């Protein structure tokens, strides 16, 4: 297993382009199945989760090739409605294929994704909504078998604005005769990006990005080309790296409208942040101020995926900060690792209290994607050397994080 050797305490500088969003390209790759045609996705990030999803597309009989940052998919040869158990278990967000395969093939068989590093990852909201639209779903021995030939349009309400459930309903409904509405839908920008792509394919979806989405079923979809939106969590992660190393950097290919909660938090902490078109300039303060309270919420609230990297940044801030993680049950795995670096963090359930002061390098390990990115960010700001194990988690959501940080002047090696 690869690891990082990081010699912290160096300032960063320069500029970096933010790559396409993992959480947009994954549902868009599932959506491409519905086209039965050729689709080209531009600015597709070279991530292990993307390669895993390419394997799923090929298993279904589609062709999928990533050349540089262009992903070519052709789903005219799709000939299966089953996802093998090993592929499902490796990446729980593969559940997004449930709606897409059902929509295209009329039936689907896959295993329930089960839990992951972030705790229990139920799909009850997905199944409840799809059953309300007439999908016949059988759950047996951890497998899900669904028949979609009696599906019909209708109105569904989500008791919680689940991102994946919203995406699955849309993918299952785009071909259903009549109008399907989703109330209390998730509003994440990645859903809007997926709907923009589906509308280019000939779908008729309105309201993406709001809590009320309307899908007017269409009989035929076709291939489309699409540029994946920038990854707002990757942008937030590099902002955290600027904060822990007290640096000024420029980020290219960002959307200011996607970063409101993070920008507001770091301006409170003393950072100077400006936007010029699709670029951001951030200058961190020599001594960051603590942030009284950060509560993770659904979009446009503070994103749970940025919680760990921001916790790492707050370890260096003057004073006491409080974080409340409201979305996932188990997103504090990095606290014991940060304590090995000298962090002063108390945790009780969903609440973490961080008393900031400088950190020292240590031997630590990543245990999930965003936690790994957070520990990397902490190590950049810590004095001395850090050995970080488990960087394969980071490869799921960051393209060569070590190369990107090195281009900003960080002393980081991957071995
Ligand atoms: C998506 O996960 C993202 N993944 C996650 O990013 C992100 O953290 C999350 O949305 C929230 O923004 C992808 O887009 C591939 P949810 P998803 O359904 O769809 C509970 C990363 O690091 N829930 O909105 O799984 C669930 O347990 C990843 O890039 C139910 O109870 O998120 C969780 O507590 C991590 N029943 C909460 O809702 C359900 O049927 C949010 O889940 C579904 C979800």
Kindly report, residue by residue over 392-403, the tens digit of the pLDDT: 999 999 999 999
Q: Decide if pLDDT at 118 tops 80.
A: no
Q: Are 130 and 193 part of one and the same domain? A: yes
Q: Are 202 and 289 part of one and the same domain? A: no
- Using CA atoms, how far apart are residues 150 and 93, in angstroms rounded to an integer? 26
Q: Are 63 and 93 part of one and the same domain? A: yes
- Where in the sequence is the domain holding 340, given as residue range(s)? 3-19+230-414
Q: Band the pLDDT of 112: cuts 50, 70, 90.
A: confident
Q: Give pLDDT tens digits for 282-291.
A: 999 999 999 9
Q: Are 204 and 353 part of one and the same domain? A: no
CB of residue 125 inside a 6 A radius of ligand 1? yes
Q: Are 112 and 142 part of one and the same domain? A: yes
Average pLDDT for residues 139-144, to the nearest whole number? 92
Compute, in angstroms, the gap from residue 79 CA to the centroid of ligand 1.
29
Q: Are 261 and 117 part of one and the same domain? A: no
CB of residue 194 inside a 6 A radius of ligand 1? no
Q: Which of 200, 227, 254 is the last residue of a domain?
A: 227
Residue 240 annotated as catalytic: no
Q: Is residue 146 classed exposed, middle or buried when 0-12, 13-18 and 19+ CB atoms within 10 A define those classes?
A: buried
Q: Are 62 and 139 part of one and the same domain? A: yes
Q: Decide if pLDDT at 222 tops 70.
A: yes
Q: Decide if pLDDT at 116 tops 80.
A: no
Among the atoms of ligand 1, which is closest to the Cα of residue 164? 19
Q: Decide if pLDDT at 114 tops 90.
A: no
Q: Is residue 140 classed exposed, middle or buried when 0-12, 13-18 and 19+ CB atoms within 10 A define those classes?
A: exposed
Q: Give pLDDT tens digits for 224-275.
A: 999 999 999 999 999 999 999 999 999 999 999 999 999 999 999 999 999 9
Q: Band the pLDDT of 1: cuts 50, 70, 90.
A: confident
Catalytic residue, from 44, 62, 111, 116: name it: 116
Q: Band the pLDDT of 120: cuts 50, 70, 90.
A: confident
- Give the CA radius of gyration of the chain: 21
Q: Which of 207, 227, 247 is the last residue of a domain?
A: 227
Among the atoms of ligand 1, which is closest to the Cα of residue 188? 12
The domain tally of the chain equals 2
The per-residue b/e assignment along 247-260, b for 16 or more CB within 10 angstroms, e otherwise, is bbbbbebbbbebbe
Q: Give pLDDT tens digits for 306-344.
A: 999 999 999 999 999 999 999 998 899 999 999 999 999
Q: Decide if pLDDT at 117 tops 80.
A: no
Q: What percent of the chain has pLDDT over 70?
A: 100
Q: Band the pLDDT of 115: cuts 50, 70, 90.
A: low
**pTM, rounded to two decimals:** 0.98
Q: Which of 193, 227, 261 is the last residue of a domain?
A: 227
Q: Band the pLDDT of 9: cuts 50, 70, 90.
A: very high
CB of residue 393 inside a 6 A radius of ligand 1? no
Q: Are 190 and 245 part of one and the same domain? A: no
Q: Are 194 and 254 part of one and the same domain? A: no
pLDDT number for residue 143? 93
Q: Whose CA is nearest to atom 1 of ligand 1?
A: 163
Q: Are 255 and 398 part of one and the same domain? A: yes
Among the atoms of ligand 1, which is closest to the Cα of residue 397? 29
Domain with residue 27: its CATH number is 3.65.10.10
Q: Are 158 and 14 part of one and the same domain? A: no
Q: Are 397 and 341 part of one and the same domain? A: yes
Q: Give pLDDT tens digits for 338-352.
A: 999 999 999 999 999
């Amino acid at each position: 297993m690869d690891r990082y050797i990081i010699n912290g305490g160096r300032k960063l500088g320069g500029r970096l382009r933010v790559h396409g969003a993992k959480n947009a390209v994954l549902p868009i790759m599932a959506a491409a199945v519905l086209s039965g045609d050729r689709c080209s996705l531009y600015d597709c990030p070279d991530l292990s989760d993307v390669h895993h999803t390419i394997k799923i597309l090929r298993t279904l009989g589609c062709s999928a090739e990533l050349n540089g940052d262009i992903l070519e998919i052709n789903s005219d040869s799709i000939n299966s409605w089953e996802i093998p158990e090993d592929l499902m278990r490796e990446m729980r967000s593969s559940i997004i294929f449930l709606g897409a395969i059902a929509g295209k093939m009329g039936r689907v068989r896959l295993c329930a994704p089960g839990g992951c590093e972030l705790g229990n990852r139920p799909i009850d909201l997905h199944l409840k909504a799809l059953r309300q639209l007439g999908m016949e779903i059988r759950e047996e021995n951890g497998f899900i078998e669904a028949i979609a030939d009696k599906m019909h349009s209708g109105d569904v309400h989500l008791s919680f604005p689940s991102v994946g459930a919203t995406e699955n309903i849309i993918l299952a409904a785009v071909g259903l005769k009549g109008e399907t509405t989703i109330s209390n839908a998730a509003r994440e920008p990645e859903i809007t990006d997926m709907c923009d792509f589906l509308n280019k394919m000939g779908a008729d979806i309105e309201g993406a990005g709001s809590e009320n989405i309307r899908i007017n079923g269409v009989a035929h979809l076709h291939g489309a080309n699409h540029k994946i939106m920038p990854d707002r969590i990757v942008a937030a992660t590099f902002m955290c790296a600027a904060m822990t190393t007290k640096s000024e950097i420029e980020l290219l290919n960002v959307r200011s409208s996607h970063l409101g909660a993070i920008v507001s938090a770091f301006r409170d902490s003393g950072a100077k942040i400006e936007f010029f078109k699709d670029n951001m300039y951030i200058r961190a303060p020599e001594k960051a101020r603590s942030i009284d309270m950060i509560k993770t919420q659904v979009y446009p609230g503070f994103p749970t995926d940025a919680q760990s990297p921001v916790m790492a940044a707050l370890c260096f801030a003057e004073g006491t900060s409080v974080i409340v993680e409201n979305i996932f049950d188990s997103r504090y795995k990095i606290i014991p690792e940060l304590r090995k670096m000298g962090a002063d963090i108390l945790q009780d359930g969903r609440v973490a209290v961080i008393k900031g002061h400088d950190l020292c390098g240590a031997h630590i390990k990543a245990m999930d994607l965003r936690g790994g990115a957070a520990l990397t960010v902490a190590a950049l700001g810590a004095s001395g050397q850090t050995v970080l194990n488990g960087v394969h988690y980071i490869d799921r959501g960051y393209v060569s994080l070590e190369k990107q940080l090195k281009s900003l002047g960080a002393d980081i090696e991957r071995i």
